[in-house]
Amino acid sequence: MECDNIYQQARRKILKHSLHKKNIILVKNKNWQVGFIGIVASKLVEEFSRPVIVFAGQEDYLKGSARSVDGINIYDAIMGAKEHLLGFGGHS
């Protein structure tokens, strides 16, 4: 239920701000539960066929979960911005 709520909120934000027309979709809400953002990112990639990073609140900072489409290495893309991050990990 909570996962569906987060997905619907994220989807509304994406459509309202035309984020689905960008090369990559970044969406955030400090009130979203971190445990659901990976599932939400996967659903959004399926719907919009773009790489997606979903950010949620975690103490005094945001934590993100990224998913991508075939042919785009999201890990390499994030690596290019590593100086702006507290940390990251994962795979292509």
- Give the global pTM: 0.91
Report d(CA 36, CA 64) in Å as an integer.
11
Over range 51-71, report the average pLDDT.
Answer: 91
Nearest to 51 by CA among 69, 64, 37, 39: 69
CB-based contact 27:13 (threshold 8 Å)? yes
What is the structure's pLDDT at 61? 87
Q: Where are the beta strands (DSSP E) in the chain?
A: 25-29, 52-58, 61-67
pLDDT 10s digits, 16-55: 999 999 999 999 999 999 999 999 999 999 999 999 999 9
